[in-house]
Amino acid sequence: MYYHFIDEKPEEKEVKAYPTFKAFLNGKVKGGFDARKDPIHIETAIDNSLKHYAKDNKGQPILYTTEVHNLANSIYPFLKETIQQLLKNTSVLS
């Protein structure tokens, strides 16, 4: 969810200022991920996820990275045209 809206990797110090990672996320994205409207940002999530993705020496994703790009890349082709149309219509309204 974080990378749907934010393109910078979280700073450890900032995350640790919250009691939980969930609380940190809520501080960044008020109300959390809204499955009714936020999937429209899937392309941004893919880009941001790939920008920060890295693995440790055991092949595990490092802290504050995600593999959301794997899932998103598999479903985005089916949604791309609809999302682009929605974004176009939304920008006209803005």
Tens digit of each residue's pLDDT (9 = 90 or more) over 4-47: 888 888 999 999 999 998 899 888 888 778 888 888 888 999 99
CA distances (Å), 9 to each of 30, 82, 84, 88, in order?
A: 18, 29, 26, 28
pLDDT of residue 92: 52
Based on the structure, what is the number of domains in the chain? Answer: 1
Residue type, 69: H
**DSSP 8-state class, residue 60:** P
pLDDT of residue 2: 78
What range defines the domain where residue 44 resides? 2-93
